[in-house]
A and B are shown apart, each in its own frame.
Chain A
């Protein structure tokens, strides 16, 4: 399969995401610049972490206007799997592809640490290799990961099974102490109504090799292959290529 990794000015986990899917997972991968109008025929797209446009104004607030987001929107509407990681999650919320917003962490400080997550929904393209209730481990690294949505939206997310991951303790309990940033109802990741667009604050691309906190991120990324095989829908292909970028060294 082929992944597209979006690159906005200020993205800084783009190379890590690329390496995770291309070098570790062994899939095809291309970078897609912010000013591209096509996803170059990718089967799945990652909006990586970082500080797109410096996070100036608000995280993700400027990136939503980048031309590539039009392609991402069409791809998502056609049912293609979209994964927003950290800043990518913030961009998806700002672009209206996911509900809610990510506020400044409750403790007011950036937090970099491993966390436990409870998988709530194992039916998205990214969670098919987990089972509901499973506890997985990944790192977080963010200053604005405090998930917020009005109570009625949160209720709707709960009812529709759209909460994908919750922060929890090692035994799977979603306690206040296990919540690193003050997120409503310990929410770490959610999906859209159709389930194909998933955003999460933790970094799966930092949990893919033996020296890392876990390899649970690899299971998350690898699940997309299974999902693609299982679904007959073929995601829309873009038009002509308009500039992939290469990272140096």
Chain B
């Protein structure tokens, strides 16, 4: 007998239960209720965010498959080869069990890309943790990195890039956002559809156990004191099984037996059956007795809701089941025909000779509730946006400030993490982690490549979500440009608190608006992504964190550049200009302990022109390196160029405002480039033609970073000291072993 307590425990509201009864015309049984609960969760149904997400521009020349499928697909002009990509969050499981949470996050996004018929060729991760002086945070950081390493390395897909930031706001609620990119020949493009009554429903992959039951519901809930008891909601990954599954599925789609394919990820059998049926305009009938099971006595509820990993649902053309089973057998992957596509649009589940569930497909999917929650500007936003610079003393020792910023874990070198990832398996990584603003991966058999970047800055969003959303897109795109790519499309993860809080919802709405405007201005449509809401611990939301993943086209792999100054005697210049902007900076947070003010302004038209000039200069072979000015501003950007290249620079700056704003302010649309003297005129012409400011800063030389402002030297630091601060920071914080 179902009680109010039973649907509430599954995360359903009373009115949602009433809606289910109305849609069914009767009370659901427990299995059916569980199926509704997972598919109507925020994670699957986007019920609070659906209307907002419609704001994203999704059309573009390059877009082949937009939102709504397992991954977006774009045409990058590489002949027959298309690119599939998406990102997804695995925040909640990682907070409870960091290794498995992160590992299965990698596994899930790989299968989403695989479901499009693509071979996964690259992974990126955007991670957020609390501060490293907290033992539990170190445990989470070490565990998440080890989980990504353990799964990604084994499955043989390189982790080529990403980013990591540390902020006390993520202490209890780390963020693990994973992006996967795959390649496919056009003819292999596959959709997640169950169409054609009579076609077979085939279960491919590992056996089903009791792990991860209600994971999707968990992912749509808050963290709190009871979270530890949610450990059974965390799935366990087996990268070896995933590797076999990838090879088997690629051969299946290659052979053309497959009508549709979908990962049994969040909400397992329930979502894969219901969503493929909904897309195909059909129904699905399955018999749970045929499902491979690794535990005894599982009931229909458990089988339908299990989130056991490394499983795919494959819709196979009638009469080809045996071919499919033979291929799977050869790859050592279990496969079983568990049902049939039917004309009647219902999901019918048989178990032990009886109908265990029978639900109209659309009741589970398109008829899920959609909410329009109230939005309200946070009451304290004006207060947070106010910043009295006059009351802020300028530092006396700029060398010390620079070294402290370089050692701030958000800025510091992340080799401690990325050397644990195999970033070169596949032998296609042209620019790997730490070498350039974005990763560059080759498209085999062509001169082309793709440039990839994930990025986001929650502090800007906290202070002004509209600007923060715009910057998230602009900065990630700028990074792609700096490595030699032409941004063409984006994916995103929206990590926010509870949308039922008007202030959180307002922030989300503003951020989506900002991201959309930037996407429109930069010509980068959104091809998919995910939302991760309810990121709260004991009622306190995380900082609002939209993460953007950008894919760019590299026309010629010979025309890519790194971030480091590649040698002595090069001219160093700044594309863009510096304004006196200190609000929301890493400098204010680290040196003055302040998270306030307005984030830097973003002029989208200038941004577009700055990116165009830099991109064109790289394409023409005019510049030797390019690095975006981001966290820590111009001084930190220059230091990073020196550290990555192993050479110093002497810089002369003129500025009418505060010196700290010039050195550490985070004015947008600025790129530090190095070039040979003989290319200066050509670069100047490009900048002039685009109406983009271009300033000569100095020349690379020696083993020091020397910065003079208005004629007076304010920074003079040897590379060795910067190196120690920058490279030493995270290893020191994590200890010799740094183990979880």
Contacts and interface: CB of A to CB of B under 8 A. Distances in A.
B524 interface: no
Nearest to B251: A248
B59 interface: no
Contacts of A108: 737, 739
A111 interface: yes
B243 A10 contact: yes
A211 B430 contact: yes
Interface stretch (B153-161, B466-474, B649-657): B153-161
Interface stretch (B181-189, B227-235, B700-708): B181-189
Given A12-B156, A248-B250, A141 B420 contact: no
Contact of B154 (A20, A55, A107): A55
A15 to B, nearest CB: 8
Contact of A109 (B332, B420, B442, B557): B420
Interface stretch (B24-32, B288-296, B386-394, B421-429): B421-429
Contacts of A16: 425-427
B308 interface: no
A137 interface: no
A249 B420 contact: no
A112 to B, nearest CB: 5
Contacts of A248: 119, 247, 250-251, 254
Interface in B479-524: none
Interface string A29-56: 0000000000000000000011101111
B250 A10 contact: no
Nearest to A14: B156
Contact of A54 (B238, B250, B425, B430): B238
Interface residues of A, number: 34
Contacts of A112: 418-424
B239 interface: yes
A13 B240 contact: no
B149 interface: yes
A215 to B, nearest CB: 13
Interface in B201-258: 238-241, 243-244, 247, 250-251, 254
Given A110-B420, A211-B430, A9 B156 contact: no
Interface string B621-661: 00000000000000000000000000000000000000000
B155 A110 contact: no
Nearest to B238: A54
A128 to B, nearest CB: 23
A203 interface: yes
* Interface bin, chain B: 35 or more
Interface string B405-445: 00000000000001111111111001000000000001010
Contacts of A109: 146, 149, 419-420, 738
Interface in B685-740: 737-739
Interface string A1-23: 00000000110110110011000
A242 to B, nearest CB: 13
Contacts of B185: 249
A249 B154 contact: no
Given A107-B737, A108-B739, A249 B419 contact: no
Nearest to A209: B427
A53 B154 CA distance: 10
A139 B119 contact: no
B395 to A, nearest CB: 36
A51 B243 contact: yes
Nearest to B252: A248
A10 B154 contact: yes
Contact of B153 (A9, A56, A141, A206): A141
A96 B185 CA distance: 42
Among the interface residues A19, A50, A54, A249, which one has the most CB atoms of the partner chain B within 10 A?
Answer: A249
- Interface SS of chain B: mixed
A245 B508 CA distance: 49
Contact of A111 (B244, B420, B557): B420
B425 A51 contact: no
A205 interface: yes
B473 to A, nearest CB: 29
Among the interface residues A10, A20, A139, which one has the most CB atoms of the partner chain B within 10 A?
Answer: A10
B733 to A, nearest CB: 15
A20 B430 CA distance: 15
B244 A9 contact: yes
A110 B239 contact: no
A47 to B, nearest CB: 15
A113 interface: yes
Contacts of B444: 19
B240 A10 contact: yes
Given A10-B154, A112-B421, A56 B149 contact: no
Contact of B557 (A13, A203, A211): A211
Contacts of B426: 15-16
B119 A12 contact: no
Interface in A136-180: 139, 141, 143
Contact of A205 (B184, B331, B427): B427
B427 A54 contact: no
B427 A206 contact: yes
A116 B709 CA distance: 41
Contact of A9 (B146, B254, B332): B332
B427 A50 contact: no
A108 B734 CA distance: 13
A110 B424 contact: no
B154 A54 contact: yes
Contacts of A56: 240
Contact of A249 (B250, B421, B424, B738): B250
B417 to A, nearest CB: 10
A141 B243 CA distance: 18
B240 A12 contact: no
Contacts of B155: 12
Contacts of B146: 109
Contacts of B425: 12-13, 16, 49, 141
Contacts of B421: 110, 112
Contacts of B247: 248
A113 B738 CA distance: 19
B309 to A, nearest CB: 13
A208 to B, nearest CB: 8
Contacts of B119: 248-249
Contacts of B557: 211
Contacts of B118: 249
Given A50-B156, A51-B156, 7 more contacts: A51-B239, A54-B239, A110-B150, A141-B425, A143-B149, A208-B427, A209-B427
30 contacts: A9-B244, A10-B154, A10-B243, A12-B155, A12-B156, A16-B425, A19-B427, A50-B156, A54-B240, A55-B240, A108-B737, A109-B146, A109-B419, A110-B149, A110-B421, A110-B422, A111-B420, A112-B420, A112-B421, A112-B423, A113-B419, A139-B424, A143-B153, A211-B442, A211-B557, A248-B119, A248-B251, A249-B119, A249-B183, A249-B188
Interface of A: 9-10, 12-13, 15-16, 19-20, 49-51, 53-56, 107-113, 139, 141, 143, 203, 205-206, 208-209, 211-212, 248-249
Name the 9 nearest CB pairs between A and B, nearest first: A12-B156, A54-B240, A16-B427, A141-B422, A51-B154, A248-B250, A110-B420, A211-B430, A249-B119
